[in-house]
Amino acid sequence: MTPPRDSIAKKPAAEFEPIRVEPAYRKVAAALIERITDRSIIAGERLPGEIELARQFGVHRGTVREALRELETNGLLKRARGSKLMMVTRPAHVDVAAGVSRALALHDVSYQDVWEALTALEPPIAASAARNRTAKDQKRIGAIVGPVSVEQTAEFFRAVGEATHNGVFVLAHEPLVQLLIPSLGVMIDKVPQAAARIATAQKRIAVAIGQKDSAQAEDWMSKHIRDFRRGFEIARISLEQRVSNA
């Protein structure tokens, strides 16, 4: 016998998500970001003053000021010299990467994660640098090769990345370089042969890039990354350890 319709248990309907109400300044910031990213407002162009922007958006001047302050903090705006007006700018690669590095550290990535990413990224970056480097790039890389230090090693990676003239490569590996820096000094101090091996690899990579030999540049960068990992193991720095960008 079929039970009465009213007695059949109804499956509860899925609840609606709460509607997110954003502060007005965030909406103003989002509107400005949209214009900046679609190139309606280009880098170097000055924005109207706060009073004019407030009129256009139909908000208080303080709301506009808060939105501009947020975009300035994120590197999208800066104060034009000798003017009260804000100017659109492109955030530097290092500044963008710093935010990514912080995010990676907060998501508990390990040195193992970093090394796997470096292994995937750095050899193709070296090969691309060999194909695309200019005489200026070659000179810069050659000038960096020398006494090994934490800062010098990071600068070498950056110079090789920039020699690719590929903005994606530059932005992709910079956060990893920044995460590597805090522990690199520990490894170099604990492993006596580390500095000499790093110097040798840098020289070989620089020569290959100078000769536009992408295969050799890629091969030596692969060896360099493997050597870095080995140095960490010898220094007893656990690859399972969580990184910090402090």
The pLDDT tens digits for 126-182 are 999 999 999 999 999 999 998 999 899 999 999 999 999 999 999 888 888 888 877
The rounded distance, in Å, linking the Cα atoms of 162 and 222 is 18
108 and 83 belong to one structural domain: no
Residue 176's pLDDT is what?
A: 86
Q: Is residue 37 part of a domain?
A: yes
What is the b/e burial string over 195-204, where b = at least 16 CB atoms within 10 angstroms of the residue's CB?
Answer: bebbbebbeb
Judgement on whether residues 129 and 29 belong to the same structural domain of the protein: no
**In this structure, are 46 and 138 located in the same domain?**
no
Residues 118, 213 share a domain: yes
Co-location of 71 and 97 in the same domain? no
Where residue 39 sits, what CATH number does that domain have? 1.10.10.10
Q: Tell me: do 55 and 143 sit in the same domain.
A: no
Residue 6 lies in a domain: no
* Residue 102 sits in the same domain as residue 213: yes
Q: Are residues 50 and 132 in the same domain?
A: no
pLDDT of residue 4: 60
Q: Which residues of 93-127 are buried (b: 16+ CB within 10 A; e: fewer)?
A: beebbbebbbebbeeebebebbbebbeebbbbbbb
Residues 174, 241 contacting (CB under 8 angstroms) = no
Cβ atoms of residues 242 and 112 within 8 Å: no
**Among 88, 110, 127, residue at a domain's last position:** 88
pLDDT value at residue 5: 58
Look up the CATH number of the domain holding residue 188.
Answer: 1.20.120.530
**Final residue belonging to a domain, choices 32, 54, 88:** 88
The residue segments making up the domain with residue 204 are 93-234
* pTM, to two decimals: 0.72
Residue 226 clears pLDDT 70, i.e. is over it: yes
pLDDT band at 220 (very low <50, low <70, confident <90, very high): very high
Mean pLDDT score, 212-224: 97
Report the C-alpha gap between 156 and 159 in whole angstroms: 5
Q: Are 84 and 163 part of one and the same domain?
A: no
Residue 246 has pLDDT above 80, yes or no: no
Indicate if 97 and 83 belong to the same structural domain: no
Number of structural domains the chain divides into: 2
Q: Are residues 70 and 133 in the same domain?
A: no
